[in-house]
Amino acid sequence: MKSAGKVYLVGAGPGDPGLITVKGLECIRNADVIIYDYLASPAFLKYAPEHAEQIYVGKKGGDHTLSQDGINALIVEKAKEGRVVTRLKGGDPFIFGRGGEEAEVLVAAGIPFEVVPGVTSAIAAPAYAGIPLTHRDFTSTLAFVTGHEDPTKTDSSIDWASLARGIGTLVFFMGVKNLPHITRNLMDNGMAPETPVGLIRWGTTTRQESVFGTLENIVERVKAAGLKAPSIIVVGNVVSLRSSLNWFENRPLLGKRIVVTRAREQASDLVKRLTDMGADCMECPTIQVIPPEDWAPLDAAVNTLSTYDWIVFTSVNGVRFFFRRLFETGYDVRALHRLRTACIGPVTARTLMGFGLKTDILPENYRAESVVDAFRNENIKGCRILLPRAMEARPVLPVELTRMGATVDEVTAYRTVQARENAEQLVAELKSGAIDMVTFTSSSTVRNFKALLPEEEPLPRMMNGVTVASIGPITSDTARELGFTVDVTASTYTIPGLCDAILAHYQTAS
């Protein structure tokens, strides 16, 4: 019989993936099984080991994937298989998270467990809305209350009189549906009708939205705004500080749903920059970067590096795949000691520098034509140039360098193939009008993005109301050729340049 495994009851935090604890992330990385909730960000799952079983048990507005008893039994079952189970719960497991009940079941089953606290939404959502829950000029008392009580039951377990008269700040969980019941009970028990109230939905995420008012008018305001669960309700005079302390909802791209089509392994920088400006990013990688079908041509070039005068890198991928193969064939960077180097773009140059080599040529503009212009200052007649890059790259560079008298060996270092991750969700959100912008970072992302769209649907209809942003003129030209209307083209052909162009577009539009 297998010995029991171990269970970690982990608080995933309030929604912003950056607010999980270091230990919580470690539990995800070491898990054999991850059992996660509706409010636990799916972004955490990318840290799970490949072998980890992932089980969704979310409960949303009465729609329960699995009952609490079923969840308890599942946790016990997986642990008894001798596996490490990470039970990932939104917020903190011991604050209205039913983590205490799950822990009791584990004790009864004799299964070892640990509790990893998380940042509760009761603190985080108000903080992201500009509301300090305590303040020396307003209050030093605070209470967390469930808002999920059945308003039809005769006896309430909540001491409304004490809350209304004795606590400075009240935070209600899961209370949107019962908001009329909550406000009525507070006013009936002596709380002033003009007491400020705020509701924060999807707090700490890029979907955050807030509604503010007073006890006597907040119900009507929430109804008019159409605000729904999951929301946190904050009652008390500290809510008035929101007008001066609001920081999160002032971000320029807040609420904009932006599709990132870049390969997943390269998308993080773009996603982070857009998210930091408030955008709600949907990662829909349309390309996957993979090795060439045959390493032989690149291996031959690596084995004869001493015969080359220059090596030109046109992308980060070109650098990474070249050095990967260099090392796999038994060489190190000393094999390039006599070669001069050229790079397209500062990020490619930084990647090369990561391998200990500084580029000799870095053109002002980050496209193949600019590399050609930079080489006009060099005497390359009779030189041998190695060009490791994508299989389907544009021919401009080898053609022009050959015309200048060089011998150019263009070698495939990697390929890009179509990816279909999140394709169904993408199509559904385009049809529903949920997408504000699609970003393209290369011609291949444009071509593969279009291939994901249903052929029977006219492109103008699918892209109606959707802004198209491109990293540079070559990508924009490809997009136009395929029938897209390009609204934003970066003047600096980098991820920061694209983000600057997107920001400028929305600032101009507003």
pLDDT in tens, 420-437: 888 899 999 999 999 999
pLDDT, one tens digit per residue, over 119-147 is 999 999 999 999 999 999 999 999 999 88
- Taking all residues of the chain, what is their mean pLDDT, rounded to a whole number? 91
- Does residue 87 fall inside a structural domain? yes
SS3 82: coil
Q: Are residues 282 and 426 in the same domain?
A: yes
Q: Are residues 72 and 141 in the same domain?
A: no
Burial tier of 126 (Cβ tally within 10 Å: 0-12, 13-18, 19+): buried
- List the single range of 258-267, 303-312, 314-323 with lowest mean pLDDT: 258-267
Burial tier of 102 (Cβ tally within 10 Å: 0-12, 13-18, 19+): buried
Q: Are residues 413 and 423 in the same domain?
A: no
pLDDT at 58: 79
- What's the mean pLDDT in 184-189? 96
For the question of residue 174 being annotated catalytic, the response is: yes
- What's the mean pLDDT in 351-360? 95
CATH code for position 144: 3.30.950.10
- 179: amino acid identity, one letter: L
Nearest-angstrom CA–CA distance, 451 and 35: 35
- List the single range of 136-150, 305-319, 324-338 with lowest mean pLDDT: 136-150
Phi-psi region of 465 (alpha: psi -120 to 50; beta: other; left: phi over 0): left
- List the single range of 22-26, 64-68, 124-128, 464-468 with lowest mean pLDDT: 64-68
Nearest-angstrom CA–CA distance, 449 and 441: 11
pLDDT at 267: 74
**Beta-strand (E) ranges in 33-189?**
33-36, 53-56, 59-60, 63-64, 84-89, 113-116, 142-146, 169-173
Instruction: Provide the angle, in degrees to the nearest 10, between the axes of the packed helices 443-452 and 423-432.
Output: 80
Q: Are residues 43 and 131 in the same domain?
A: no
- What's the mean pLDDT in 91-117? 95
From 77, 442, 27, 146, select the one nearest 267 (Cα to Cα): 442
End residue of a domain, out of 417, 449, 465: 417
Beta bridge partners of 54: 34
Q: Are residues 147 and 239 in the same domain?
A: yes
- The C-alpha angle 305, 311, 317, rounded to 5 degrees, equals 110
Count of domains forming the chain: 4
- Does residue 203 fall inside a structural domain? yes
Q: Which of 59, 80, 272, 431 is labelled catalytic?
A: 59
CB 238 within 8 Å of CB 286: no
List the domain range (segments joined by +) for residue 88: 6-119
From 326, 329, 330, select the one nearest 339 (Cα to Cα): 326
Nearest-angstrom CA–CA distance, 466 and 377: 43
- Does residue 252 fall inside a structural domain? no
pLDDT, one tens digit per residue, over 254-303 is 989 999 998 777 778 899 999 999 999 998 888 888 999 999 999 999 99
CB 361 within 8 Å of CB 342: yes
Q: Are residues 127 and 89 in the same domain?
A: no
- Does residue 52 fall inside a structural domain? yes
pLDDT at 173: 92
CATH code for position 469: 3.40.50.10090
Q: Are residues 84 and 107 in the same domain?
A: yes
pLDDT at 249: 92
Burial 281-299 (b: 16+ CB within 10 A, else e): bbbbbbbbbeebeebeebe
Q: Are residues 58 and 68 in the same domain?
A: yes
- Does residue 71 fall inside a structural domain? yes
- The C-alpha angle 196, 202, 204, rounded to 5 degrees, equals 90
- Does residue 236 fall inside a structural domain? yes
- What's the mean pLDDT in 367-384? 84
Nearest-angstrom CA–CA distance, 135 and 241: 10
Residue 243 pLDDT > 90, yes or no?
yes
- What's the mean pLDDT in 243-250? 93
| Percentage of the chain exceeding pLDDT 90 | 73
Residue 1 pLDDT > 80, yes or no?
no
For the question of residue 463 being annotated catalytic, the response is: no
Q: Are residues 423 and 471 in the same domain?
A: yes
Residue 438 pLDDT > 60, yes or no?
yes
Block residue for tokens 């269970």: 7
CB 386 within 8 Å of CB 310: yes
pLDDT at 150: 58
Residue 59 pLDDT > 70, yes or no?
no
How many CB atoms sit inside 10 A of residue 185's CB? 19
CATH code for position 11: 3.40.1010.10
Q: Are residues 185 and 264 in the same domain?
A: no
End residue of a domain, out of 417, 447, 473: 417
For the question of residue 37 being annotated catalytic, the response is: yes
Nearest-angstrom CA–CA distance, 115 and 226: 36
Q: Are residues 406 and 326 in the same domain?
A: yes
Residue 63 pLDDT > 70, yes or no?
no
End residue of a domain, out of 64, 89, 119: 119
- Does residue 250 fall inside a structural domain? no
- List the single range of 74-78, 198-202, 245-249, 359-363 with lowest mean pLDDT: 359-363
Q: At 152, is the pLDDT very low, low, confident or very high (cuts 50, 70, 90)? A: low
Q: Which of 174, 187, 353, 404 is labelled catalytic?
A: 174
Q: Which of 6, 16, 32, 37 is labelled catalytic?
A: 37
Q: Are residues 276 and 299 in the same domain?
A: no
- Does residue 430 fall inside a structural domain? yes
Nearest-angstrom CA–CA distance, 87 and 32: 11
Nearest-angstrom CA–CA distance, 495 and 510: 23
CB 439 within 8 Å of CB 260: yes
More confident residue, 481 or 375: 481
